[in-house]
């Protein structure tokens, strides 16, 4: 393998949603070079960051009945029982919820955690609090998906953060999706909540890093009640 091919294999594709932003940063960089060269180089760095932000690397998704994979890259910020958003019609009782916080350095392409049918997509306008806060689930702008599988219903909620102002869905109601398939994007820092069926036990821990479409966050076919986690 040549050096060029080796470097190319390490670069992730850019999602088309990012092209206008990257082009805008590049144009601003040219103007900044004309104003003052150091400012131009700062613009180049910001353009490179923008391209990095909109990366869309391929993922290898484990496929088996009962597996639920992470819908987002980032840090597992909260694991708790919580009542799902009422617009989903999922449950009026608390369900196990896994929250993944995405910083501005994480990949922001979100993927479906299960294979199933998109029963409902509901957008709600709201505030732009820090997405790492628990109350962001109720107060912030959000886009909620209800996904039905052969044996369960899963809720996935995209939550806009302090910087994010744009939630972009890639799927429609009634569409059938496969586990790990791209379902949307949140621009510039945000969070995704997954509501698991009653009795499901998360296989991840708070503080753990996850990869969208790859990290298994729950297994409905195998209830491991003895699993613990070690930090270090």
Residues with a known catalytic role = 190
Residues 160, 141 contacting (CB under 8 angstroms): yes
Residues 118, 172 contacting (CB under 8 angstroms): yes
C-alpha count within 13 angstroms, C-beta hemisphere, residue 84 = 27
| Closest C-alpha among 49, 183, 169, 52 to residue 113 | 183
Report residue 5: phi and psi, to 5°: -65, -35
Query: What's the rounded Cα separation, in Å, for the pair 200 and 196?
Result: 6
Return the sign of the alpha-carbon dihedral for residues 222, 206, 102, 186.
positive
Report residue 139: phi and psi, to 5°: -95, -30
């Amino acid at each position: 393998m040549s050096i060029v091919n080796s470097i190319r294999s390490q670069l992730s594709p850019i999602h088309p949603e990012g092209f206008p932003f990257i082009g805008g940063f590049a144009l601003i960089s040219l103007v900044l070079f004309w104003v003052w060269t150091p400012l131009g180089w700062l613009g180049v760095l910001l353009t490179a960051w923008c391209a990095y932000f909109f990366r869309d690397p391929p993922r290898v998704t484990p496929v088996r009945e009962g597996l639920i994979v992470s819908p987002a890259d980032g840090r597992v910020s909260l694991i708790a029982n919580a009542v799902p958003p009422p617009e989903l019609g999922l449950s009026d009782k608390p369900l196990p919820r896994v929250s993944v916080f995405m910083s501005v350095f994480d990949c922001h392409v979100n993927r479906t955690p299960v294979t199933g049918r998109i029963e409902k997509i509901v957008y709600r306008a709201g505030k732009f609090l820090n997405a790492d806060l628990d109350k962001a689930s109720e107060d912030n702008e959000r886009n909620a998906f209800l996904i039905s599988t052969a044996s369960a219903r899963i809720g996935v909620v995209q939550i806009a953060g302090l910087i994010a102002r744009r939630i972009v869905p890639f799927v429609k109601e009634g569409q059938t999706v496969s586990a790990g398939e791209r379902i949307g994007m949140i621009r510039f820092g945000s969070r995704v909540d997954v509501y698991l069926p009653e009795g499901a036990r998360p296989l991840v821990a708070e503080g753990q890093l996850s990869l969208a479409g790859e990290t298994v966050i729950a297994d409905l076919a195998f209830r491991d009640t003895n699993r613990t986690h070690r930090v270090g």
